[in-house]
Structure 1
Amino acid sequence: MRKLRRLNQFLEERWVTPAYAGLLLLAMNLFFFAAAVNSMAGWLYVITGMILGLLLVAASLPPRYLRGLMLERAKADPVHAGDRLRLTVFLTNATPTPRYTLQVIDPVPSGLRSATQRESPQKAIEELRPRQTVTWQYDLIPPRRGIYEWQQLYLRTAAPLGLFWCRRSFSVPQQVVVYPPVLQLQQCPLLDQLGQELSQEWRDRQHHLHVAQEGITRALRPYRWGDPLRLVHWRTSARYGELRVREFDTFSGGNAVTVALDTHSHWRGEDFEQAVIAAASLYLYSLQQQIPVQFWSPATGMLHGRPTVLRALAAIAPSETDAEYPLDSLLWLTAQWPSPEPLPPGSVTLLWGEPPSRQQGRLLWIDRDRPLGLQLQAPVSYPLA
């Protein structure tokens, strides 16, 4: 049955396949031909020839009927998994004659369709007037994250006689980016406390910058209006005959939370998806709370900005890519404990998989049988300092 269906689809895309009415007419023609051979009646041969001519004309018309039709797509905005995705297709009749009984089929990837939606989306168009454009919009609810690409749209018709089906493909590329779902975190003590630690560290460094001025001078520049007099380097100013002020090195590292995802291949599929959801949720929560944040993984390197990070998380997958850890402390999402290499000082590990054998100082074990959102919002029960 499956082979017969594939043969029918192959013929429909390359030539034509008979519709139900066409099969009945073909069977009737064979019956008349057999009767004509048996009785040698000329009128039966005439009927057989007329039906055969009608079938040949009906088989040649549908491919021509689809010529002059144009298909276009509208760009699809990125969505999160589980949200509504709207796709738009435009069908234009560029010919001076109308078209009837058309069917548009969009072979979207199976990852964009829900479990109950087995067939590709399709739209029936009764009439398409000359120079008219018909807009077809339909909605999908993608269940999984990913970057989905497909190239084709199909037009199918049995017009004008309805005896043979014909389907032709049109090259109309489409790309859809489905971000991972994001948990609506009302609080996250883990990130809040890390943000406070980093802010305090940054303030301490800035205080050290203003107090310990000797020995950290990077360069001398001419005095500008508004510069404090305490920055004037009097010895150099006396030498050049004009005021020169000191510029100091600023500390730029260690003042942002780095959400890091381990992409090595020791993950279970469900655990990795949970880790991706956790990474997206923690990153967006940090942005919402105005905590400086960045994302890092061995496969992507360091990334900044909401669209860039979410797109990377939509496409990310376990791999064997190796990379050195960033210098800043990490919020390390992994399924391997202990880490094969020491993490930067101050790092915290979120562990999926088997629970650790003993209580660890900077480790939070994620229980796959409990809601992830509740675990991320639970009070921190281990020392971070």
Structure 2
Amino acid sequence: MTARGLALLVAAGVLLAAGFRYGYPDLALLGAAAGLAVAAAAGFAAWRPRLRVNRVAEPERVARGEPARITLTVRNGSRWRAATLLAVDRCGPSTVPVPLLRLRPGRDTSTGYPVPTHRRGLVPVGPLAVTRRDPLGLITLNRVYGETVTVRVYPRIHPLRAVPAGLTRSLDGRADRAPYGSITFDSLREYVPGDELRRIHWRSSAKVGELMVREQVDTAEPVLVVLLDDRASAHTGESFEHACEAAASVITAAVREALPVSLHLVASPGGGAFLDVLTEVTLGDGDLGGTVRRLRAQRSGDTLVFLTGPGGRGDLGAVSGLHGTYPVVVAGLLGDRDAAPEPSAAGMIVVEAADGAEFATAWDGVRGW
């Protein structure tokens, strides 16, 4: 109920009370008319239009800065009454007006508008908020229609021409791409039809009582480990956005070359598709020392790429301590390329850049991949 409607309702009560108390029928009549007006307004606003809302995002996944558009279709499912409503659709932090003027029964209307993609993250779109108001402005009723669509805005991806390939050399002179050998034993599993008989481990099969097969892995492939520093203390300004772009660029280059890659975060648990993680990650508080110890214990690759901001410059020494575990350690410093690297970051390749595009250029300029 609006302020006007509340005032009219109070006036109706006062007029009715005064009219009956002091015997003034005119006042009682005015009070009754005011009360009927409020009741009629409530009935008018309470009518629920039967709207069917269909919302389509094209596309639902988009890189930062690329265009995306919402197409909204509203259909009046009522059989007799036309709908004239005030409606707005939520699009991220803002709202978009949707014209619904004299929408006839059984008819629909469509409208479209762009999605803001200037920031990385999730952009929720919807639901449609419909305002129903009586002609006198006494009562306003808000309802929502339709489901919410989420548009994922990925970080920008800058093409990289090369990815690290390890340090060791094989006897025939080519890069072996990993320091620990080639085909190695990994685990045992039960035999399934189609397995090669030469891979059956007969001694274990005799102990277990059923055929067991050796699982082997090829460790000759280079494995990239990308460590994104998502600590709030490590970044200033837009440096975290640039670090996310660098991480997305490195991961995309590795996937393009069909190389195994893993993504780790300092302050967040991570998990899921790489681009989805990079879309949803936000700054937080984390322990870089604990992450370094975990990566040393896991020994999950042969190339480590550490991406941080200006505040992480002093932590390069701690990350360079992983050089014994990972033959290649690369550090990307985003957002501050003017200061000199820490002298304790020995054995580490340092790539400094102001943003993601400059990082890609500096990365391609590194010799020795």
Q: Please give the range of the TM-score, normalised by the shorter of the 2 chains.
A: 0.5 to 0.7
Cross-structure match for 2:157: 182
Q: Deviations over 1:98-128 (max 9, x none)?
A: 2332122333443xxxxxxxx4223131022
Change (3 A) 1:292 1:360: farther
State the one-letter code of the partner of 1:373: A
Structure 2: distance between partners of 1:282 and 1:297: 10
CA contact (8 A) 1:205 1:251 kept: no
- Structure 1 CA distance for aligned equivalents of residues 29 and 19 of structure 2: 9
Q: Is 2:143 aligned against 1:164?
A: no
Q: 1:48 aligns with which of 20, 23, 31?
A: 31
- 2:43 corresponds to 1:93: no
Change (3 A) 1:375 1:200: same
Higher Cα radius of gyration: 1
* Preserved contact between residue 262 and residue 298 of structure 1 (Cα < 8 Å): yes
Indicate which of 335, 339, 342 corresponds to 1:357: 342
Separation (CA, whole Å) in 2 of partners of 1:53 and 1:106: 34
Q: 2:45 aligns with which of 59, 62, 70?
A: 62
- What TM-score does the superposition give when structure 2 sets the normalisation length? 0.65
SS of match in other structure, 1:277: helix
1:173 aligns with 2:153: no
Of stretches 46-55 and 263-272 in structure 1, the one that deviates more from structure 2 is 263-272
2:246 pairs with 1:260: no
Structure 1 residues 380, 107: closer, same or farther in 2, change over 3 A? Answer: closer
Distance 1:260 1:43, change over 3 A: same
Q: Report deviation, 1:25.
A: 6.3
> What residue identity is the alignment partner of 2:330?
V
Within 1, Cα distance between the matches of 2:46 and 2:66?
A: 38
Structure 1, unaligned runs of 5 or more: 1-15, 111-118, 208-248
Pair 17,155 (structure 1): closer, same or farther in 2 beyond 3 Å: same
| Residue 278 (structure 1) shift | 1.0
Deviation readout 1:159-217 (Å, 9 max, x if unpaired): 5665422101346232221111234x5xx5xx53736x78987985699xxxxxxxxxx
Letter in 1 for 2:76: N
Instruction: Map 1:291-310; keep pairs closer than 5 Å.
Output: 291-299=257-265, 308-310=273-275
Q: Percent identity?
A: 21
Distance 2:317 2:332 in 1: 11
* Map of 2:105 onto structure 1: 130
53 and 302 in structure 1: CA distance in 2 versus 1, 3 angstrom threshold: closer
- Residue in structure 2 matching 1:342, options 322, 326, 332: 322
Q: Which runs of 5+ in 2 are unaligned?
A: 177-214
**Counterparts of 2:171 and 2:241 in 1: how far apart (Å)?**
34
1:213-362 to 2 correspondences below 5 Å: 252-256=218-222, 258=224, 260-263=226-229, 265=231, 267-268=234-235, 270-284=238-252, 291-299=257-265, 308-317=273-282, 322-323=294-295, 324-334=298-308, 335=312, 336-340=315-319, 341-343=321-323, 344-352=326-334, 355-358=340-343, 360-362=346-348
User: For residues 108 and 198 of structure 1, do their structure 2 counterparts lie closer, same or farther at Cα, with a shift above 3 Å needed?
Assistant: farther
In the TM superposition, what is the alpha-carbon distance from 1:383 to its structure 2 partner? Answer: 6.2
2:155/2:278 contact within 8 Å kept:
yes
Q: Secondary structure at the match of 1:131?
A: coil
SS in 1 for 2:143: strand
Q: Give the TM-score normalised by the residue count of structure 1.
A: 0.62
Q: CA deviation at 1:152?
A: 4.0
- CA displacement at 1:356 relative to structure 2: 2.2
Alignment-mate amino acid for residue 120 of structure 1: T
Which of residues 55, 63, 85 is equivalent to 1:80?
63
Taking the aligned partners of 1:342 and 1:259, their CA distance within structure 2 comes to 12
Cα 1:381–1:128, aligned 2, differ >3 Å: closer, same or farther? closer
CA 171–302 in structure 1, closer or farther in 2 if over 3 Å, else same: closer
Q: Which amino acid aligns with 1:291?
A: E
Give the Cα–Cα distance (whole angstroms) in 2 for the partners of residues 301 and 164 of structure 1.
48
**How much has 1:314 moved relative to structure 2?**
0.8
Rounded to whole Å, the distance in 2 between the matches of 1:63 and 1:202 is: 83
Aligned residue in 1 for 2:191: none
State the secondary structure of the residue aligned to 1:172.
coil
Distance 1:34 1:256, change over 3 A: same
SS at match of 2:95: coil
Secondary structure at the residue paired with 1:327? coil
1:297 to partner: Cα distance: 2.2
Q: Paired residues, what number?
A: 305
SS of equivalent residue, structure 1 residue 332: strand
Amino acid at match of 1:68: R
In 2 relative to 1, CA 351–24 (structure 1 residues): closer, same or farther, beyond 3 Å? same
